[in-house]
Amino acid sequence: MEPSDSFTSSFIIKIWRERTGVRPDQVAWRGHITHVPSGRQRYLRKLDDIVIFILADVARMGVPLSVYWRLRRWLHTQRHP
């Protein structure tokens, strides 16, 4: 059974490690995510940003988010307007 287009979304995620200091063990995850249907993109500074980006699309599809995820999304928008 194929899922309905209104309840399906696709993303392309590219992540990599960047050196953040002089020592080789000082690294951070970076990347970008693209929402395939709209072409909307976001640069990622940490892996949690992937979930926050996808949550916006999930909410638009009408999936109810728990209080925890709604709060995480709100906090993220306060730090990154």
Q: What is the 3-state secondary structure (H, E, C) of 22-60?
A: CCCCCEEEEEEEEECCCCCEEEECCCHHHHHHHHHHHHH
Q: Which residue has the tokens 């990347």?
A: 31
Domain ranges in the chain? Answer: 7-79
Between 4 and 15, name the one with better pLDDT: 15
- What is the reported pLDDT for 71? 86
Cα 14 to Cα 12: distance, rounded to the nearest angstrom: 7
Between 17 and 22, name the one with better pLDDT: 17
Those residues whose C-beta lies under 8 Å from the C-beta of residue 36, and which sit 6 or more positions away, are: 9, 10, 11, 12
- What is the reported pLDDT for 35? 94
Q: pLDDT, tens digit, for every residue of 30-70?
A: 999 999 999 999 999 888 889 889 988 888 888 888 888 88
11-18: average pLDDT: 94
pTM here is: 0.69
